[in-house]
Amino acid sequence: MVSWCATHCDAVISCRNLVRRYVDFVAVNRITLDVAKGAVCVFLGPNGAGKSTTLRMLTGLLPPTSGSITVCGLDVTANPLELKRRIGVLPEDLGLFDDLTVDEHLLLTGAVYGLDKHETRSRADQLLHALSLEEGRRTFAGACSHGMRKKTAFAMALLPSPRALFLDEPFEAIDPVTSKIMRDLLMAAARRGVTVFLTSHILSVVEQIATQVVMIRKGKIVWNSPPGDLPKSLEQHYFDLVETPVVEDLKWLGSS
Amino acid sequence: MARVIVVLRTLGRAYRRDQRSLESVVGNNFFVVTALVMQNAGGFIYLLIGLVLLFPLSTDPLRKIPASRLALWPLEAGERRLLRVLSPWLNPVSWAVAGLAVWAIRGRVTFGLWAAVAGLAVAAFLLSNLPFTPGPAIWLHVPRFPGRLNQLIRKNLREMVSTLDFYCALLLSLSGLTCRAAGLHLPSDAFVAMTVLVVLALSSYAQCLFGLDGVGGLARYRLLPLRGWEILAAKDAAFLAVAIPLTLPLAPLAGIGAALAAIAMGHAPTVGRPRPQSRWRFSTGAGVIFGLLHAALIAMAATSVYFSSRLFLLPCLAAWAASTWYYGRRLEAPAAG
């Protein structure tokens, strides 16, 4: 395993010996990690490896069993409200209210993050335009397609202009054009100093945007480096370190 | 035929698991208190409750299979017809209507009653097949509120009016309004009683204020930079925005006192024992004992304000503020799981 930490003194996201235990199951096992300002850190691993649990702990949604977390200079467990003001999150379940429209979700976000009405309206309009949500802006989230719901949740994460973004599988179930737009927005944000931490299964997208690749298996970090330091292709290295694909010949397939 | 039986068996299992209507009425303050208090009214009141209960129960069981999945299954046209004919019989209401028809033929109940029950069941069955998503024409025009909680209050209002509790309270309020408009000389005590009934009809919802937010909504609450008391205050504002206008034609100040008492006590199960709820059903409260205590507190608040002094609004307000602060703090505690 390679231990690599981006410039320790400039870490926006930092955790030490992070553990999350559920009765007799350890979901996250002594994770230590630093993510620098302006980095795009991609957290890779199979389903159930502990990616979402880690992300939930980093965003203050889940208390760790032990270990310490600092995000944007704040102790996550001691300053939950201040932390929420500084970060943007796209949660796994998107966190939308069925009874609010796409537009109302953005207006709600602006209001509770303390933006004035004019600024909120202006940012919301730009995001709706950028993410091709203008036509569906008056659609209730409960009646939106999955793609629209994901774009709405993504827009909510960006709207308050957070210092750090935490995105749980942002590119899954998204059309290629929106995926490209989201990638471009994230890379532009990172260039301006926003730290991005995301989980994904789409390795081709990861290769394009990551400045730090972290692989996790059974709750433990098994790789942490810039993509340039990978000894082979990302896919091959992932298969070698994290999960080897099982090849099963289903002989009955095509027999009828 | 074998395929149809397999589908019907699976459908029956799914339908039984999702059949919460009866449970929701049993745990609903309004029905529990009405059934206990109005025993002297005899079978008629129970018949009315039964008719109200019949409505949410009479849904089409075939709805449990997603239309896209049903269309993909390799069933013959005849099998689909058979499924259409047999599936309604998974619903116990269909058997009840058939049994009532036999009684009507034997003269044990009138044909009029049978027709009313059957008509209600058929209407609910047909309505359940219509797409019932919130339409912009109705739901977008929810009033706006001042302050940064505006959108949350509007959302909470939409949730609240998608429960049957609201319509039950609305009917009671309209009947009071009709009495006032028609100039009927009812004793003033009757309006207090009606006020208590209106707030009682809404009070089970006060015990499960997050019931319609869903998993995603609850996750969002934890992400928003809001204090717990603000989230509860947005819920309460929506509750009061419904309860106060509904008690206006009756005993308004007593209604405010009762509504404040309802939400103050309702915070405990809302935060401590959250229960998911279904739309277009009666809300399920925290249990019969809690429901009776809740109802007693609501009645006490209303009668104290009406018969003793308006100053009793102050302790109601203080209780609500204390409850909002305390349960707001509890709401901020990080989730354990």
Minimum distance, in Å, between the CA of residue B332 and any CA atom of chain A: 9
Query: Is the pLDDT at A4 greater than 60, yes or no?
Result: no
* A100 interface with B at CB cutoff 8 Å: yes
| Cα B141 from Cα B241, distance rounded (Å) | 15
Which own/partner contact pairs does A117-123 have at CB distance under 8 Å and 24+ positions apart?
A120/A159, A123/A159, A123/A161
**Among A15-19, A235-239, B20-24, B81-85, which is the least confidently predicted range?**
B20-24
Query: Is the pLDDT at B318 greater than 80, yes or no?
Result: yes
> Best mutation site among A98, A109, A145 for testing chain B: the one with the most B CBs within 10 Å?
A98
Q: Which is more confidently placed, A118 or A248?
A: A118
CB-CB neighbors (< 8 A) of A25 in chain B: none
CB-CB neighbors (< 8 A) of B149 in chain A: 111-112
Pairing mode, strands A40-44 and A25-36? unpaired
pLDDT band at A173 (very low <50, low <70, confident <90, very high): confident
Query: Is the pLDDT at A205 greater than 70, yes or no?
Result: yes
Contact across the interface for B336 and A63, Cβ inside 8 Å: yes
Contact across the interface for A140 and B133, Cβ inside 8 Å: yes
| Cα A26 from Cα A54, distance rounded (Å) | 12
User: A242: buried, middle or exposed (CB in 10 Å: 19+, 13-18, 0-12)?
Assistant: middle
The nearest alpha carbon in chain A to B160 belongs to: A99
- Which among B248, B238, B227, B253 is positioned nearest to B309, based on CA atoms? B253
pLDDT in tens, B74-102: 788 888 899 888 988 888 888 888 998 99
A window 7-36, beta carbon within 8 A of B? 22
**Among A81-95, A215-229, B109-123, which is the least confidently predicted range?**
B109-123
| Cα A240 from Cα B45, distance rounded (Å) | 71
Q: Which is more confidently placed, A24 or B29?
A: A24
pLDDT reported for residue A105: 94
| Cα A84 from Cα A62, distance rounded (Å) | 13
pLDDT reported for residue B59: 74
Q: Listing from the earlier edge strand, what are the strands of the sheet with A195-199?
A: A87-90, A164-168, A195-199, A40-44, A212-217, A220-225
| Cα B305 from Cα B316, distance rounded (Å) | 9
Contact across the interface for B140 and A142, Cβ inside 8 Å: no
pLDDT reported for residue A3: 45
CB-CB neighbors (< 8 A) of B140 in chain A: 101, 138
pLDDT band at A182 (very low <50, low <70, confident <90, very high): very high
Query: Is the pLDDT at B136 greater than 80, yes or no?
Result: no
pLDDT in tens, B235-251: 999 999 999 999 999 99
The nearest alpha carbon in chain B to A21 belongs to: B337
Query: Is the pLDDT at B30 greater than 50, yes or no?
Result: yes
The one-letter amino acid code at B67 reads: A
**Among A97-111, B99-113, B194-208, which is the least confidently predicted range?**
B99-113
- Which positions ≥6 away from B253 have C-beta within 8 Å? B305, B306, B310, B313
Q: Which is more confidently placed, A56 or B185?
A: A56
Q: Which is more confidently placed, B28 or B135?
A: B28
**Among A121-130, A197-206, B66-75, B230-239, which is the least confidently predicted range?**
B66-75
User: B200: buried, middle or exposed (CB in 10 Å: 19+, 13-18, 0-12)?
Assistant: buried
Beta bridge partners of A217: A220
Alpha helices in chain A, H assignment, sequence order: 51-58, 80-86, 102-112, 117-130, 146-158, 176-191, 203-209, 234-241
* B310 interface with A at CB cutoff 8 Å: no
The nearest alpha carbon in chain A to B151 belongs to: A108
pLDDT reported for residue B26: 61
What integer is the mean pLDDT of A180-200?
Answer: 95
Residue A91 φ then ψ, to 5°: -75, 165
pLDDT reported for residue A170: 94
Contact across the interface for A112 and B148, Cβ inside 8 Å: yes
- Contact indicator for A105, A152 with CB cutoff of 8 Å: yes
Q: What is the mean pLDDT of chain B?
A: 85
| Cα A109 from Cα A117, distance rounded (Å) | 11
Contact across the interface for A104 and B336, Cβ inside 8 Å: no
Query: Is the pLDDT at B33 greater than 80, yes or no?
Result: no
- Which among B176, B322, B202 is positioned nearest to B258, based on CA atoms? B202
Query: Is the pLDDT at B69 greater than 60, yes or no?
Result: yes
Q: Which is more confidently placed, B323 or B33?
A: B323
Alpha helices in A59-101, H assignment, sequence order: 80-86
The nearest alpha carbon in chain B to A97 belongs to: B217
Contact across the interface for B337 and A107, Cβ inside 8 Å: no
The nearest alpha carbon in chain B to A81 belongs to: B225
The nearest alpha carbon in chain A to B150 belongs to: A108
Contact across the interface for A61 and B219, Cβ inside 8 Å: yes
CA B105 to chain centre: 35
pLDDT reported for residue B279: 82
- Contact indicator for A200, A169 with CB cutoff of 8 Å: yes
- Which positions ≥6 away from A176 have C-beta within 8 Å? none
pLDDT band at B304 (very low <50, low <70, confident <90, very high): very high
pLDDT in tens, A128-165: 999 999 999 999 998 899 999 999 999 999 999 999 99
pLDDT reported for residue B42: 58
- Quote the tokens at residue A190: 């990172």
* A63 interface with B at CB cutoff 8 Å: yes
B window 181-240, beta carbon within 8 A of A? 212-217, 219-220, 222-227
- Quote the tokens at residue B17: 């698991």
CB-CB neighbors (< 8 A) of A84 in chain B: 223-225
- Contact indicator for A181, A154 with CB cutoff of 8 Å: no
Contact across the interface for B151 and A80, Cβ inside 8 Å: no
Contact across the interface for A104 and B158, Cβ inside 8 Å: no
**Among A17-31, A207-221, B82-96, which is the least confidently predicted range?**
B82-96
Tell me what percent of the residues of chain A surpass a pLDDT of 70.
96
What integer is the mean pLDDT of B256-276?
Answer: 94
- Output the CA–CA distances (angstroms, integers) from residue B138 to B119, B128, B162, in the order listed: 27, 19, 12
Contact across the interface for B219 and A91, Cβ inside 8 Å: yes
| Cα A183 from Cα A162, distance rounded (Å) | 17
pLDDT reported for residue A24: 84
pLDDT reported for residue A244: 84
pLDDT reported for residue B40: 63
B134: helix, coil or strand?
coil
Q: What is the mean pLDDT of chain A?
A: 91
Contact across the interface for B214 and A98, Cβ inside 8 Å: yes
| Cα B269 from Cα B262, distance rounded (Å) | 12
Query: Is the pLDDT at B20 greater than 80, yes or no?
Result: no
What integer is the mean pLDDT of B4-23?
Answer: 75
| Cα A177 from Cα A80, distance rounded (Å) | 35
Query: Is the pLDDT at A70 greater than 70, yes or no?
Result: yes
pLDDT reported for residue A83: 92
Contact across the interface for A140 and B139, Cβ inside 8 Å: yes
Minimal Cβ distance to B136: which of A99, A113, A138: A138
Most confident stretch, B74-78, B190-194, B228-232: B228-232
Minimal Cβ distance to A97: which of B150, B220, B222: B220
Minimal Cβ distance to A91: which of B149, B158, B223: B223
Query: Is the pLDDT at A9 greater than 80, yes or no?
Result: no
A245: helix, coil or strand?
coil
DSSP string, B70-129: HHHS---HHHHHHHHHHGGGGSHHHHHHHHHHHHHHHTSS-HHHHHHHHHHHHHHHHHTT
